Amino acid sequence: MLRTELYADPRGIFVHDLVACAAERFGELTAIVDTSCQPERRISFAEYADVVTRVARGVTSANVKPGDVIAIFLLNSWEFCAAYHAATRAGAIPTLINPSYRERELRYQLEASGASLLITDGPLLSGVDLSGLPKLRSVYVTRSPASGAQAFGSLLSSSSQPLPALDADTRLTLAALPFSSGTTGLPKGVMLTHSNLVSNVYQLLGPNAGPQALYERVLCFLPLYHIYGLNVALNPAFVLGMTLVLMPRFDLVRALHWIRTEEITFLPCVPPILNAFVQAAEKGEFPRDHKVRFVKSGAAPLAAELARERARHRAAQRTLVGPHRDELVVAMAGNGMAAANCSTGEQKAMLIAITLAHAALAAAGRPGVLLLDEVAAHLDPVRRAALFERLREGRAQAWLTGTELAPFAEIEGEAAVWRVANGTVERLS
């Protein structure tokens, strides 16, 4: 069936208006269950709206002005949600940062976004130097202290600080500044307006769009810094009075526990997690008395083979195809951290290192040819310099592609440069 209507008219609605509206409609119903708290913290829609207003007053008192950027560097938690909606209510622009980032990646996004205030937690700042960031004025930590940082709780203190009147065009006012590398280059800020996000929520909830209904119970292990978690799980919850059960990260055993005990009805997933649930069901581990009625898969294509090959996998009692067949266990040499727990920048570096190592083994002492498509653009300057040095040391003829010359400035003069455009090839140097 065609989707031709939105759930409602998004014109003039700010993202935080959804929170205020939910407080009026759903009041004391549970909005958020934060499983990272011991015991779990349960927050009603009315309480959440109050928390958002108090934090918005807090950041305004901290001299945050409309248009300023607030960075949120947190795992999934009630503090993440409140900081996000409070930032928009204060007229600020939230930039959402992957909590697996290391110092270099964190500093890059803070500097590129021009963040003036950072909300994070002590352990995430361990070994991180934030000095020399000219626009960063204040750092707040949520649960554990960090040197030079203030307690997030201080933003919650009762305040009579007036909030700015927000009367700008929602089509032009930014509601989120997530960073994404897309298919090329270092991550870039993606400017999403209030109209973008609210319209998208209303698309998701419109007629013929999906079976989401009032009072769903949603298990959210999707990272909220990613648009999938932010605008498929968090923001729609305030339109339909859904309870959002937050997990800081995906863990199969804990997810199965929460599915049963919290009577989850909606599971937004990505393909690997959906595969894990299917395997758990085949082993008899998925709760038989579950209440799940709707599963959504996104962020990457869901391979048709996942459905077609289930019978073969079930008969073999194991998954017969996939990267696990190589039985590779990858860790970062510098710190011994498993690849799955490394930042995206570290993961990219490891993939390139594995490719180069494989090429060296395959060549077996003979000159080889390396084709590296858009690799240089995905690395920061330090790792890019290391790649070039590694290529110099090798015996392979290396071909690198890119959409711009800037990433190759370091090897200008020692590499031949060709431009391919409009069906022609032109040598530049």
**How many CB atoms neighbour CB 223 within 10 A?**
20
Residue 41 phi/psi, 5° resolution? -95, 130
Q: What is the pLDDT of residue 184?
A: 55
Which residues make Cβ contacts (< 8 Å) with residue 240, sequence separation at least 6? 205, 212, 213, 214, 215, 216
| Residue 320 confidence (pLDDT) | 66
The one-letter code for the residue type at 252 is L
Nearest to 87 by CA among 121, 118, 43, 45: 118
Q: What is the per-residue pLDDT for 353?
A: 87
Asked if 58 and 155 count as a contact pair (C-beta separation under 8 A), the reply is yes
pTM of the model: 0.82
139 closest CA partner among 126, 127, 151, 128: 151
CATH of 15-249, picked from 3.40.50.2300, 3.40.50.11540, 3.40.50.12780, 3.40.109.10, is 3.40.50.12780
Tens digits of pLDDT across the chain (429 residues): 677 899 999 999 999 999 999 999 999 999 999 999 999 999 999 999 999 999 999 999 999 999 999 999 999 999 999 999 999 999 999 999 999 998 989 999 999 999 999 999 999 999 999 999 999 999 999 999 999 999 999 999 867 899 999 999 999 999 999 998 755 567 889 999 999 999 999 999 999 888 889 999 999 999 999 999 999 999 999 999 999 999 999 999 999 999 999 999 999 999 889 989 988 998 899 999 999 999 999 988 887 776 677 677 777 766 666 544 555 678 887 777 788 777 777 888 888 888 888 888 877 767 788 888 888 878 888 888 889 998 888 878 889 998 888 888 888 888 999 888 888 998 888
Q: Break the chain into its structural domains and give their ranges.
A: 15-249, 364-427
Query: What is the DSSP code string of 268-318?
Result: EE-HHHHHHHHHHHHTT-S-TT----EEEE-SS---THHHHTHHHHHHHTS
What does the pLDDT read at residue 421? 85
Half-sphere exposure of 398 (CA within 13 A, CB side): 24
Helices (H) and strands (E) in the chain, counts: 13, 19
State the Rg of the chain over Cα: 24
